[in-house]
Each structure stands twice: as C-alpha cells, then as structure tokens.
Amino acid sequence: MNHLEQIARELKTTTKNMELLQAMDETSQRKLLEHIQHAHKTNEKHIYKSMEQALEHFPRMLRGPVKRIFGL
C-alpha cells in the first residue's frame, strides 16, 4: 500500500478525494502520513486523559462501572 492510500485510510476517505496530494512526492506524502498518525495518537491520548479526569467527578463506587461502559 502506498503512502497516498495510507493517508486516505487514516482520513477515512478515498484517494479520489485527494487529487492535490497526488502531486506530492513520496517523501512529502510519507511525512504527511506521519504527521496525521501522530495527530491521531495525540488526540486519542488527550481524549483518554479527559475521560479519566471526568471520572473523578463520579463517586468512587461508580467509577469502575462507568469505565466499563465507556470502554476505558
């Protein structure tokens, strides 16, 4: 799978919607893919941390069941 296809998969779109990116060279596409993947990982960590902080507002007895409901 080339970098353009991987970018499309990361962005949940098709390569048809990414005509401008096709003009980029392979190195630039790879760097863009790395930046997108890093942004997704950072976002996931931020969301997880926010959910953990939100759980602190629940009584201690309810935190376990709420964590299981949200899959944490």
Kindly report, residue by residue over 10-68, the tens digit of the pLDDT: 999 888 888 888 888 999 999 999 999 999 999 999 998 998 898 889 899 988 888 88
Give the pLDDT confidence score for residue 10 in this predicted structure.
92
Cβ of 21: how many Cβ atoms within 10 Å? 16
Q: Is the model's pTM score more than 0.85?
A: no
Give the pLDDT confidence score for residue 66 in this predicted structure.
86
Residue 8 has pLDDT above 80, yes or no: yes
Which long-range contacts does 43-52 make (Cβ < 8 Å, 24+ apart)?
A: 48/72
Separation CA 42–CA 44 (nearest Å): 5
